Amino acid sequence: MKASRFFIGTLKEAPADAEVVSHKLMVRAGMIRRVAGGIYSYLPVGLRSVRKVEAIVREEMNRAGALEVLMPAVQPAELWQESGRWTQYGPELLRFKDRKESDFVMGPTHEEVVTDIARNQIKSYRQLPVNFYQIQTKFRDEIRPRFGVMRGREFTMKDAYSFDKDQAGLEASYRKMFDAYVRIFTRIGLEFRAVTADSGAIGGNRSQEFHVIAATGEDDIAYCPNSDFAANVEAAEALPLIADRAAPSEPMKKTATPGKAKCEAVAEYLNIPLERTIKSIVLATDNEGAEPTIWLLMLRGDHELNEVKTGKLPGLANFRFATEQEIVEWFGTPPGYLGPIGTKKPVQVIADRTVAHMSDFVVGSNEVDYHTTGVNWGRDLPEPTVADIRNVRPGDPSPDGKGTLDICRGIEVGHVFQLGTKYSDAMGATFLDETGKPQSMMMGCYGIGITRILGAAIEQNYDERGIIWPEAIAPFEIVLCPMGYDRSDAVREAADKLYAQLVEAGVDVILDDRGERPGVMFADWELIGVPHRLVIGDRGLKDGKIEYQGRRDTEPTLVPTGEAAAFAR
């Protein structure tokens, strides 16, 4: 590629809404452009990296025996009604009508569509196992799209779905995908960790996530440095003792944090599904010693205060609030005080009052241990982490007994699930087994956030000058920077020759033939993050030398002209 015929859209300033470094740098490097909240165009530089991630993922999926398909972005409501998720999924599911008034959704995931394929195409155990995957555009109406492409509303996912005749088969398919994920993230060059996960809204049994370790991650990972124990702190089953222990610190004394049984009781009472709605429940008064009975429900996923206030959560339409006596009955404790209140993000539900009253309940504070309604989280008080909410702390014993836990932040880039027969039962996806009896197919599903990987890779690899791409997903591997391409015949000839050699060798090289000043050239390519740079100048050429500098190097190295192509590899 020659820069004069390419599009370089670097910018001096980052957009005002960019909170994290990857978002800032992707915009400044001219990789993406915002079209609407959480919706981006990929410009040529950005798309090159996306395509490289896709290529690695595709290769490893094919190697693992998965078969590529392409399913539609637009899906009919009927399929979602059959699975039950039409009513369960919540406002992240974008629904719309066509001209005939039929309901449709923009697919946030494809279990329904793929199960529909399987029930129609697969008749016999002889056709199993099979694993269908696609690399495709998803839409989720995220309550808080942010961090650029890391939490977008429209994004690219690789999603795979395995079908097996029994649990042993499912476990083998799951293992294959797990191993493929390890290869994918290793090849991309990310520092990652596989962690036990909560199975969340998709449902089912066993599930693990792959996290890129980065301070800006939205998830807390509890891990044991002495063993391979690692769990998303959301995963209550993986960290049971810690979730249920009594809160030890002084302000926590006033807290009542019920365990799973109590959440179940509340879910049943409220007639809402436990597994997708309630994360934990905390009781509090609106003022210490004053009238009690505010519940703070920590909800799963991205449901936040506003959704509850406006009653948008499914199931909350029939909401009745608890009396103090009921709370005592369920929790064995009178409504207590939330603490340390300044570090929690409460969803407030007031006993014996209506949802509408909640917006009248106004308090605000910049200090810990005071009211928190009206608080601007992040500005006034630190954002609470899931670890805060789950009361998991570094130094806690590891559930495997092999030491104590540390906590780090992670960005979820992949997720593998054993679904079992949840969808095949609901949608009648059966096959005839060896004895001619119909059986429900055993399913697994496996996602990778293709576009999120770009952001995650940058969060791990950047400096004050810009991005430092892992070679495997860099938009270009090598940039040639001739000093005076437009002025010096010697420089132009040497640069063109080197360029031709590298192209011939199959290297993804860009020649900066724009005739820009060195400062401008270097700034652009350092911002874009090309891992290798060769600088061709008259002075070096006189001695038969070219300057090589790796993106992380502080000094250039002089290499003989004839060896430059090999050196940069």
Interaction site with ligand ATP (CB under 6 A): 109, 140, 142, 151-152, 155, 157, 200, 412-415, 447, 449, 451-452
Closest to ligand ATP by CB, 152 or 204: 152
Going through 81-234 in order, the beta strands assigned E by DSSP cover: 94-97, 103-106, 130-139, 154-164, 192-196, 207-213, 219-223, 230-232
Q: Reduced to 3 DSSP states, what percent helix, strand and coil does the chain have, rounded to the nearest 5? A: 35, 25, 40
What residue 198 binds from ligand ATP, Mg ion, none (CB within 5 to 8 A, per partner kind)?
A: none
CB-based contacts of 191: which residues, under 8 Å, 6+ apart?
A: 212, 213, 460
119 binds, among ligand ATP, Mg ion, none (CB under 5 to 8 A by kind): none
Alpha carbons within 13 A on the beta-carbon side of 377: 14
Closest CA to 550 of 478, 495, 491, 456: 478
Indicate which of Mg ion, ligand ATP, none lies near residue 452 (CB less than 5 to 8 Å, by partner kind). ligand ATP
What are all long-range contacts of 435-441, with beta carbons under 8 Å and residues at least 24 apart? Answer: 439/125, 439/165, 441/118, 441/122, 441/128, 441/163, 441/164, 441/165
- Residue 202's identity, in one-letter code, is I
Q: Could you tell which of Mg ion, ligand ATP, none binds residue 152, using a CB distance below 5 to 8 A set by kind?
A: ligand ATP
Q: For ligand ATP, which is the closer residue by CB, 29 or 157? A: 157
Which partner in Mg ion, ligand ATP, none is near 344 (CB below 5 to 8 A by kind)? none
**Closest residue to ligand ATP, based on beta-carbon distance:** 449
Shortest distance, CB of residue 147 to ligand ATP, whole angstroms? 9
- Nearest CA to 27 out of 9, 53, 44 is that of 9
Span interacting with Mg ion, options 310-318, 342-350, 410-418, 433-441, rule CB under 5 A: 410-418
**Three state DSSP letters for 463-498:** ECCEECCCHHHCCCCEEEEECCCCCCHHHHHHHHHH
- Shorter beta-carbon distance to ligand ATP: residue 459 or 477: 459
Shortest distance in whole angstroms from residue 109 CB to ligand ATP = 6
243 binds, among ligand ATP, Mg ion, none (CB under 5 to 8 A by kind): none
Residue 24 CB, shortest distance to ligand ATP, in Å, is 17
Query: Can you tell me the distance from the alpha carbon of 120 to that of 118, in angstroms, rounded to the nearest whole number?
Result: 5
Query: Taking the complex as a whole, how short is the minimal distance between the CB of residue 218 and ligand ATP, in angstroms?
Result: 6
Q: Please report which helix (H) or strand (E) contains residue 418, including its range.
A: strand 406-420
Place of tokens 């436990």: 274
Q: How far apart are CA 544 and CA 558, in angstroms?
A: 10
Task: Give bridge partners of residue 157 from the DSSP assignment.
Answer: 136, 449
SS3 448: strand
CB of 143 to Mg ion, least distance (A): 10
Give min distance, CB of 225 to ligand ATP, in A. Answer: 24
* Shortest separation between residue 139's beta carbon and Mg ion, angstroms: 12
CA pair distance 30, 25, nearest whole angstrom: 8
Comparing CB distances to Mg ion, the nearer of 138 and 415 is: 415
* Of 220-228, 238-246, 413-421, 471-479: span binding Mg ion (CB under 5 A): 413-421
**Taking CB within 5 to 8 Å according to partner kind, which of Mg ion, ligand ATP, none is near residue 207?**
none
Contact assessment for residue 97 and residue 104, using Cβ atoms and an 8 Å cutoff? yes
Q: Which residues contact 252 (CB under 8 A, 6 or more apart)?
A: 339, 340, 391
- Exactly one of 262, 371, 415, 452 binds Mg ion (CB under 5 A); which one? 415
- Of 414-422, 478-486, 500-508, 560-568, the segment contacting Mg ion by CB under 5 A is 414-422
Nearest Cα neighbor of 335 from 261, 264, 280, 255 is 255
Minimum separation from the CB atom of position 170 to ligand ATP (A):
18
- Rounded to a whole number of angstroms, the minimum distance from the CB of residue 233 to Mg ion is 12
Closer residue to Mg ion, CB minimum distance, 18 or 411: 411
Which of the listed partners (Mg ion, ligand ATP, none) does 392 bind, with a CB threshold of 5 to 8 Å by partner kind?
none
Stretch of residues binding Mg ion (CB under 5 A), selected from 95-103, 148-156, 243-251, 408-416:
408-416
The smaller minimum CB distance to ligand ATP, of residues 273 and 482, is found at 273
Q: Is 409 in the site for Mg ion (CB under 5 A)?
A: no
Q: Which of Mg ion, ligand ATP, none is residue 130 near (CB under 5 to 8 Å by kind)?
A: none
Residue 31: CB minimum distance to ligand ATP, A: 15
Q: How far is CA 526 from the centre of its chain?
A: 26
**CB of 412: closest distance to Mg ion in angstroms?**
5
Cβ closest to ligand ATP, residue 342 vs residue 414:
414
Q: Which does 142 bind (CB under 5 to 8 A by kind): Mg ion, ligand ATP, none?
A: ligand ATP
Minimum CB distance to ligand ATP smaller for 412 or for 547: 412
Question: Which span (46-54, 162-170, 415-423, 534-542) binds Mg ion, by CB under 5 A?
Answer: 415-423
Give every CB contact of residue 222 below 8 A, 6+ residues apart in sequence. 230, 231, 233, 239, 242, 387, 392, 396, 405, 406, 407
Q: Are 340 and 298 in contact (CB under 8 A)?
A: no
Is 110 one of the binding residues for Mg ion (CB under 5 A)?
A: no
Nearer to ligand ATP, 142 or 524 (CB): 142
220: β partners: 409
Count of beta carbons in the 10 Å neighbourhood of residue 127: 14
Binding residues for Mg ion, rule: CB under 5 A, are: 412, 415
